[in-house]
Structure 1
């Protein structure tokens, strides 16, 4: 039947059961979801922030106040809120710190935009104003950042202050000075050009207190699986030669389907001897090279272990790849994949050395330590602590501090922390908004207000009156002579303090990346006006056909067959 005059034919575009939500209600729903995510991590911000205990279905317990860790473990399913997880992880990968700040800032930007959306403002206008405000905020931070100069020793002292600011908000804040020094010493060992993070090893050993943690100027790795004969090997050397291998040193059994045909039974012994001769030849070449320590990524069997013990050589098989790489960097040794060519004459080209090798008892574990390495491009931090959860959180805290010191070395510019930089940027944006006569004035002011969430949350988490402290901060930052621009929240007294003079410093890169990422996340969510959820197909082999489509076809075919 032809459609009537003025009627449009009905077009079915999406498969049956598809859920679509669109328009302003959907946008507000997405904003509410993101605000809920921000509220989940809000209380972890700052030196007085609380920790979250996350218990998963496997029974593993994680206690953390690291934003990226919490976001990863929360298993958020809301499609729009997942963008906040991504922005937190990108901040962690790019800078290493400020993961909580970026989530809170994204949530606050959306919260400030919500009333405008409800009143009918077009999201595109808000997005445009937010992006403009973000660009201005970034340029203001660059203008306010202070470069770290001076001698190497002075720079180390400044880097230590940056590390202490990062550790302030962590579980290990009680020993922040001890760990900040350790982190700066570890990062200083790295190649100044690459600053490869993989060359700093962090080993966790349960037992003891935090103060029992120590830094190894070289490489430390846990004693590997060992065979009989291991205890007869020497466990300490001075200036040993180190040989690194990526091969097995044990007798390899033939494949099950291997077949050897013999005409003379006497030949059988020669075949058995050949297997032994191959392994003995490999071991002899290792000894001939002059090495006193043999480390391999693959297994070193019981025969090889005893062989080396008889010749006063230390060996360890199944060494982790990262540990082997660090040993190579530290000692100057080159990993060998074959024993051919391992002679005393060419030893200099592939053997490494260190000042001291020893096997030491650390808690309940035994560790192999190589120290005083000539290349000194690597370091290992051995962490001690009471419980497994505590050591894991200490590991995450040190990772943040290492990333911050590493970034500060590459981009040696810092800004005042404690919410000072946010207040100063907020003031600048408020002043700039007055130059606009359009609705953008309101949106830029909203962005400026959103930035104040950082000092406000620092006050709330410390149990202070946020309204009172923010009023004092606005008064300080409002001074025309610019003397109050470095004032931030004093979490010790509940007042305000010049955070730059109090050495509460943060690399400007943290703030630049946080504001840019938070703005992008907020703009992304504001630009979504429809969510389409496709139904799960009931028939997994239907390949895109409506559920039950194939079933009906097969059923009809069978029916006809039966009738015939």
Structure 2
């Protein structure tokens, strides 16, 4: 050390114990984490995909092959890998289907460029190539997608049925996809075709019976609510009833905590009791004068009101779920009233038939033949609770797919056909590009083949042989709709002619989301872990009283601010 030169001070930038990982090693580690997730989901893809049994810390079991559901139940903590969880959820919320495909595609994109990263090629060059190839793929889908005209109702309904059946072909209910496809399309066509709000499709699950016992109610149905003894004396069936929906409590309630009323004589106490009874009777009389035969309320309807309505041949139900009550209003008309004093005729709804029926071990209230039926209810039957919940998830995916098909009406062939055509198209266009970009675009084209390859592997087919034959069809013969055939003997077929159709929006969203996720992960070259958050999440338990002291200290700090 030279004399006279001041010693450079050590600068402590991060908290002691902070873990920092950066550079090429960190990028490769993130890619490996994403590939591990893809390996978990890969076997669930396609019509012959397998299911996953996931058990949580409480011992509750879930059986599913829906990509977004699996990733949510796995509770992935790796910061980079959580990007794949986010794109799966986004795909599920936006389109409803293709959650497994988008995760596999993003992971395969990273796998294909892993060698380039190891060789020292800048991630920015890779990202630029990915974005260019992605735009080529999106433009190609828009160029070759098939539009079905909505002017022909029969043909358009056939399109929706095929899209729903294709969505269910990889689900647990694939053996009954014809039955459930009809149910899903009928449900979508019950809605207002301008809004298509899927929240107005109610789903009720009743254990017992078989899948074919499931039904679609064109109207509203919900489970019989908690009732008092007088409810059994009420009529359980009406034709063209007037229906009033309330947000009013019809119950004698005890006084609130710490309430105090001072009286000097018994007559004063009796006056208070009489006033309370007078208030509720005034409400009940006002409801009866409206002529309503069915009274529904979001709040409780007590034993006094129940018996009052039973004596006057009026049906009542209290504690109706908020969603069910809103769908009743959508179906029968009228509006939810927060007071009983000024209920006008226009505030009442009506339906063709009201009935309380037994389904399995449960009793359900049915509102059918509704004049303003912009809502419907799916009643699902099955053996085990896990099975019924998987049926619900499968139908949700199909409903979202049919909804998108109604909005757009543009379809492409499934079964890996569109991915192989995009791969061929990008390979041809990549040859027109010079420099490193060409290799990146070729890697993107190769990554697209993961979808047909995985469908073959899951179906027990020879993926190498099938893909070679499909490449020959696409490259030489120009058969852009040829894809994997898991049912036949040849292994390949024209999936457009075989009616394996998917809304083009599913593929557009999947390719865009997968590309964005891959680019995001490639742009991260450093991860910084806060030691305090690590200790809170997975570290040793703190000594007793530490948390209380920390909270008290935080409170004092907030007070000073």
Q: Same fold (TM over 0.5)?
A: yes
Query: In the superposition, relative to structure 1, how do residues 3 and 94 fare at CA in structure 2: closer, same or farther (>3 Å)?
Result: farther
Q: Does 1:413 align with 2:410?
A: yes
- Superposition pairs for residues 371-410 of structure 1, below 5 Å? 371-410=368-407
- Corresponding residue for residue 187 of structure 2: 186
- Corresponding residue for residue 513 of structure 2: 517
- Superposition pairs for residues 441-480 of structure 1, below 5 Å? 441-479=438-476
Name the count of aligned residue pairs: 536
SS of residue paired to 2:367 = strand
Query: In the superposition, relative to structure 1, how do residues 4 and 152 fare at CA in structure 2: closer, same or farther (>3 Å)?
Result: farther
Residues 327, 333 of structure 1: 8 Å contact kept: no
Distance in 2 (alpha carbons) for counterparts of 1:6 and 1:394: 73
Q: Cα deviation per residue 1:490-546 (whole Å; 9 max; x = unaligned)?
A: 011251100000000000000000000000000000000011111117999xxxxxx
Shift of 1:411: 1.2
- Corresponding residue for residue 141 of structure 1: 141
Q: Does 1:361 align with 2:358?
A: yes
Distance in 2 (alpha carbons) for counterparts of 1:538 and 1:237: 62
Taking structure 1 as the reference length, what is the TM-score of the superposition?
A: 0.93
**Residue segments in structure 2 that go unaligned for 5+ positions in a row:** 537-545, 550-561
Distance in 1 (alpha carbons) for counterparts of 2:13 and 2:430: 45
- Corresponding residue for residue 158 of structure 1: 159
Shift of 1:256: 3.6
Shift of 1:15: 1.1
The counterpart of 2:422, out of the listed 402, 420, 425, is 425
Shift of 1:125: 0.4
Stretch moving more, 456-465 or 2-11: 2-11
- Corresponding residue for residue 490 of structure 1: 485
- Corresponding residue for residue 94 of structure 1: 94
Residues 245, 296 of structure 1: 8 Å contact kept: yes
- Corresponding residue for residue 255 of structure 2: 254
Q: Cα deviation per residue 1:133-167 (whole Å; 9 max; x = unaligned)?
A: 11111111111111111412221111011000001
- Corresponding residue for residue 298 of structure 2: 297
- Superposition pairs for residues 10-25 of structure 1, below 5 Å? 10-25=10-25
Query: In the superposition, relative to structure 1, how do residues 232 and 336 fare at CA in structure 2: closer, same or farther (>3 Å)?
Result: same
Residues 3, 9 of structure 1: 8 Å contact kept: no
Q: Cα deviation per residue 1:434-462 (whole Å; 9 max; x = unaligned)?
A: 01111000000000000000000000000
- Corresponding residue for residue 226 of structure 1: 227
Residues 356, 371 of structure 1: 8 Å contact kept: yes
Shift of 1:236: 0.6
Distance in 1 (alpha carbons) for counterparts of 2:262 and 2:15: 66
**Residue segments in structure 1 that go unaligned for 5+ positions in a row:** 541-547, 552-564
Residues 330, 373 of structure 1: 8 Å contact kept: yes
Q: Does 1:530 align with 2:531?
A: no
Q: Does 1:208 align with 2:203?
A: no
Q: Cα deviation per residue 1:288-310 (whole Å; 9 max; x = unaligned)?
A: 10000000111000100110000
Taking structure 2 as the reference length, what is the TM-score of the superposition?
A: 0.93
Shift of 1:10: 2.5
Residues 210, 383 of structure 1: 8 Å contact kept: yes
Shift of 1:179: 0.3
Query: In the superposition, relative to structure 1, how do residues 275 and 411 fare at CA in structure 2: closer, same or farther (>3 Å)?
Result: same
Residues 228, 302 of structure 1: 8 Å contact kept: yes
Distance in 2 (alpha carbons) for counterparts of 1:208 and 1:265: 59
Query: In the superposition, relative to structure 1, how do residues 382 and 537 fare at CA in structure 2: closer, same or farther (>3 Å)?
Result: closer
- Superposition pairs for residues 258-273 of structure 1, below 5 Å? 258-273=259-274
Distance in 1 (alpha carbons) for counterparts of 2:509 and 2:380: 30
C-alpha RMSD of the superposition: 1.7
- Corresponding residue for residue 558 of structure 1: none
